[in-house]
Structures are given as structure tokens and as C-alpha cells.
């Protein structure tokens, strides 16, 4: 990477990329002229040839604005404009050296990261429907057991179904209705949970079988919603 405290390196990089794209813009011509005047990287002729080519293709107003700032010697250089100049091999080598090589991907590490990602996302999606925490999970289990007991025996003593009684008092529902609601909610949750688990395991299987990095990442991109 070029040094961030060096203006000309970043400028040269941008101008060479503009040349490759055959970008016709006033800033390209002005930057190339500055690079030529400073004899950056010892390729003054290239900078001037590029500046002349770009300037010749500019709208009249922009071309005149550039022409007015040229020295007499530079005006002579701009009189004969040819094709887009070829980037000198030495300059190519310098510019290419500023582009860092893509690091080799550790496939095994990537797989582990994507598996962890799938597990985190599955849990996060589950928490849209339940409350996190071991204590809360135990509460859900106890409420379900009490709800089933109430529906199996409508005359069961309140002391045996304290969670059902507490929720009925808080919501104004009957104890039987509370019990039925809990059982129905659990049945719906089982279907939803099974769907989440199926997607989680399918994604992890696909991650294990994928060989390329992009395929591994794609396998970890799970759409959790059932909508």
C-alpha cells in the first residue's frame, strides 16, 4: 500500500486507474500534468501524453481551462495528440506493488466461523418467540406440565398448578383457558422450533460439504423466517 503521507503516490494510482478506464475528466488531465512537472517515477513523457490525450477529449470549456495554464513548452507537447499512451512497464510494477495480495483463506477456520454464525443466528431467531435464560426455560416447562395436568383433571387443586392460577389472576382468564392457551402455544412452538432446527442442521451439513470459500459463505446465509 502506498504511504498515506505521500500525495503523489495516491494521485499516480488514481491517474493510472483512470487511464485504464479511459476516463475523460478535467481532474485526470490536471493530475497527469502535475505528475509530469514533478517527474514522478521518471515517466514524464507518459504523464504528458496522457494529459494531452484526455485534454483533447474534454468539452471546450474544460479544455480551454487546461490550455490557459500550460507553459509554452507544454503547449508544443499538446499539439500532437495520439492514441491512449501505453503505461510504462516500470510504472505498472510500482502501481501493482501498492495493491496488497489477497490473503489465503483458511478453509477449516472459515467453516468453523460459519458454523458458529449459523448457531448464533438460529438462537437469535428463537429468542423472537421465547425469553432467554435457564430459569425462564424451567418456568415454561413447569407451566406446560401444570397446563396438561389442568386439562387432564379440571378439578385439580390450585396448589398443584400455581403458575396457572397466577396467570389466570393476572389476565382475568379462566384457569382452563390459560391451560389451553399454554398447550396450544407449545404445540405451535414445536412446529416453529423444528423448522429452525431443520434449517440449522441443513446449513451446517452444507457448510461441511462445501469446498470453496464462497460456497461455504453461501451455505451459511440462512433465511430463518418462515414467511
pLDDT tens-digit map of 129-148:
877 777 888 888 999 999 99
11 and 55 in a common domain: yes
Q: Give the per-residue pLDDT at 223.
A: 92
At 196, list the grid cell.
429452525
227 part of a folded domain: no
Among 97, 120, 138, the domain-final residue is: 97
Q: Give the per-residue pLDDT at 3.
A: 74
Q: In this model, does residue 128 exceed pLDDT 80?
A: yes
124 and 160 in a common domain: yes
93 confidence band (pLDDT: 50, 70, 90): confident
- How many structural domains comprise the chain? 2
226 part of a folded domain: no
Computed from CA positions of residues 163, 145, 179, 182, in that sequence, does the dihedral angle turn out positive or negative?
A: positive
111 and 212 in a common domain: yes
Residues in the chain: 227
2 part of a folded domain: no
At 194, list the grid cell.
423444528
214 and 111 in a common domain: yes
174 and 89 in a common domain: no
Cα–Cα dist 208/212, whole Å: 11
The residue among 41 and 225 whose pLDDT is bigger is 41
Tell me what the mean pLDDT of segment 26-44 comes to. 94
91 and 167 in a common domain: no
Residue for grid cell 468453523: 112
For the chain, where are the alpha helices, taking DSSP H only? 7-20, 26-37, 44-56, 60-67, 72-77, 89-97, 107-126, 134-152, 162-171, 175-209, 213-219
Alpha-carbon distances of 180 from 128, 152, 185, 186, 187, rounded to whole Å: 22, 11, 8, 10, 11
35 confidence band (pLDDT: 50, 70, 90): very high
Q: In this model, does residue 81 exceed pLDDT 70?
A: yes
> At what angle are helices 162-171 and 134-152 packed, to 10 degrees?
90
Q: Give the per-residue pLDDT at 79.
A: 85
176 and 92 in a common domain: no
Longest dimension (CA), the chain: 108
Among 70, 97, 124, the domain-final residue is: 97
36 part of a folded domain: yes
214 and 122 in a common domain: yes
210 and 131 in a common domain: yes
Find the domain containing 53 and state its range. Answer: 7-97
At 39, list the grid cell.
517527474
Q: In this model, does residue 85 exceed pLDDT 70?
A: yes
3-state class (DSSP) for residue 5 = coil
Q: Give the per-residue pLDDT at 145.
A: 95
Tell me what the mean pLDDT of segment 105-126 comes to. 92
Element (H, E) at 80: none
188 part of a folded domain: yes
Among 45, 78, 97, the domain-final residue is: 97
Q: Give the per-residue pLDDT at 212.
A: 92
pLDDT tens for 172-189 read 999 999 999 999 999 998
Residues 6 or more apart whose Cβ sits within 8 Å of residue 83: 53
- Residue 28 Cα to chain centre, angstroms: 31
72 and 13 in a common domain: yes
209 and 116 in a common domain: yes
Q: Give the per-residue pLDDT at 149.
A: 96
Cα–Cα dist 179/147, whole Å: 4
Cα–Cα dist 31/25, whole Å: 10
102 confidence band (pLDDT: 50, 70, 90): low
3-state class (DSSP) for residue 40 = helix
209 and 144 in a common domain: yes
Amino acid at each position: 500500500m502506498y504511504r498515506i503521507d505521500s500525495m503523489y503516490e495516491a494521485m499516480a494510482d488514481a491517474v493510472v486507474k483512470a487511464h485504464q478506464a479511459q476516463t475523460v475528466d478535467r481532474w485526470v488531465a490536471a493530475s497527469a500534468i502535475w505528475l509530469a512537472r514533478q517527474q514522478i517515477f521518471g515517466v514524464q513523457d507518459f504523464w504528458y501524453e496522457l494529459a494531452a490525450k484526455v485534454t483533447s477529449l474534454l468539452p471546450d470549456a474544460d479544455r480551454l481551462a487546461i490550455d490557459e495554464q500550460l507553459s509554452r513548452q507544454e503547449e508544443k507537447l499538446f499539439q500532437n495528440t495520439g492514441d491512449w499512451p501505453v503505461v510504462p512497464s516500470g510504472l505498472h510494477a510500482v502501481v501493482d506493488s501498492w495493491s496488497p495480495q489477497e490473503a489465503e483463506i483458511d478453509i477449516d477456520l472459515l467453516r468453523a466461523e460459519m458454523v458458529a454464525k449459523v448457531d448464533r443466528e438460529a438462537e437469535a431467531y428463537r429468542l423472537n418467540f421465547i425469553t432467554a435464560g435457564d430459569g425462564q426455560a424451567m418456568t415454561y416447562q413447569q407451566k406446560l406440565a401444570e397446563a396438561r395436568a389442568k386439562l387432564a383433571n379440571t378439578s385439580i387443586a390450585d396448589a398443584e398448578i400455581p403458575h396457572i392460577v397466577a396467570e389466570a389472576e393476572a389476565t382475568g382468564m379462566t384457569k382452563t383457558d390459560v391451560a389451553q392457551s399454554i398447550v396450544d402455544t407449545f404445540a405451535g412452538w414445536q412446529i416453529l422450533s423444528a423448522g429452525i432446527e431443520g434449517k440449522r442442521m441443513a446449513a451446517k451439513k452444507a457448510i461441511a460439504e462445501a469446498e470453496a470459500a464462497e460456497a461455504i459463505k453461501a451455505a451459511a446465509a440462512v433465511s430463518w423466517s418462515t414467511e
